[in-house]
Structure 1
Amino acid sequence: MDLFANPVLLSLSRQLDASALTHRVIANNVANVNTPGFKKSYVSFQEQLKAALGKQEIVMLTTSDRHMGGIPSLASVSPVVIQEKGTTMRYGGNNVDIDQEMVNNAANSLVYDTSSLILDSKYTGLENVIRGGR
């Protein structure tokens, strides 16, 4: 049994990766707020994580996670950057709303901080078990 293949540890680790990528994407959006023609991006991750954790209804029975319609494994879940091309906020075609980006940044910071705190407590618990409670 692999202690680090625990679904909670894997999903928290993937969430930290997604939050770090989200921070970089938000920073890029904010840096280009006045760039004519720039289209903002966002990170898609939660839907994939829900599917990997089995929170969505399975459409068909499968015998392998590689089959179409199967539940993806947590190891295969990764964040995806998507560019939002269909909207425009201001003259010049730019669609970055600085207020929305600041809200997204604050929410992402909370998710990152919470995930890292929970992951730290999980590893601290493992450390206590290994040391025999000392």
Structure 2
Amino acid sequence: MTFFNSESFGLLKNYLDVASLRQKVVAHNIANLNTPGYKRLIVSFEDKLKEALNSEKLPLTVPLKQHLNKRPDWQQVSLSPERNYTTTMRADANNVDLEQEMTLLTTNTICYNLAVQRLSGKFEQLSYVITSRGR
């Protein structure tokens, strides 16, 4: 398995894509704060990822050994935003709560920075391996 095809690298890359999309969605929600009838958009990647990982339960009996190596395909998890129709905060039917969006924006920024730091650490490990090999 190569560095760029490793599962942790792929998950970090996907998470950075999700965090970037979530940032755009939250900014779009905030921009439509005063639009009557606007329903906020959400990105529910973590729930979909959990579903994908839990959907591939192994049966009690496995006919062939190679079936044990079957891993859930978390890379197929959808990254499209969805409308949230469940709540309406105001009389104009707009359900954007500025405080909630700002909290989500802050949380997303922190998680994005953590993922970037982790990915940076992986590149530092790779750099160390490459430079120490010639010694």
Instruction: Tell me the TM-score normalised to structure 2 length.
Output: 0.81
Q: Runs of 5+ in structure 2 lacking a partner?
A: 64-69
Provide the residue aligned with 2:92 in structure 1.
92
Residue 108 and residue 101 in structure 1: after superposition, are their counterparts in 2 closer, same or farther (change >3 A)? same
- Which deviates more from structure 2 when the two are superposed, residues 71-80 or residues 32-41? 71-80
Residue 75 and residue 116 in structure 1: after superposition, are their counterparts in 2 closer, same or farther (change >3 A)? same
- Whole-angstrom distance in 2 between the partners of 1:74 and 1:57: 10
Provide the residue aligned with 2:130 in structure 1.
130
Number of equivalenced pairs: 126
Provide the residue aligned with 2:19 in structure 1.
19
Q: Runs of 5+ in structure 1 lacking a partner?
A: 64-69
- Whole-angstrom distance in 1 between the partners of 2:96 and 2:109: 19
Structure with the larger helix share:
2
Report how far residue 8 of structure 1 moved.
0.8
- SS at 2:125 equivalent: helix
Residue 85 and residue 19 in structure 1: after superposition, are their counterparts in 2 closer, same or farther (change >3 A)? same
Which protein is bigger by CA-based radius of gyration? Answer: 2
- Whole-angstrom distance in 1 between the partners of 2:55 and 2:76: 19
One-letter identity of the residue aligned with 2:10: L
- Whole-angstrom distance in 2 between the partners of 1:84 and 1:109: 22
Report how far residue 60 of structure 1 moved.
5.5
Root-mean-square deviation (CA, aligned residues, Å) is 2.4
Instruction: Tell me the TM-score normalised to structure 1 length.
Output: 0.82
Report how far residue 119 of structure 1 moved.
0.5
1:118 paired to 2:118: yes
Alignment map for 1:21-40 (pairs within 5 Å)? 21-40=21-40
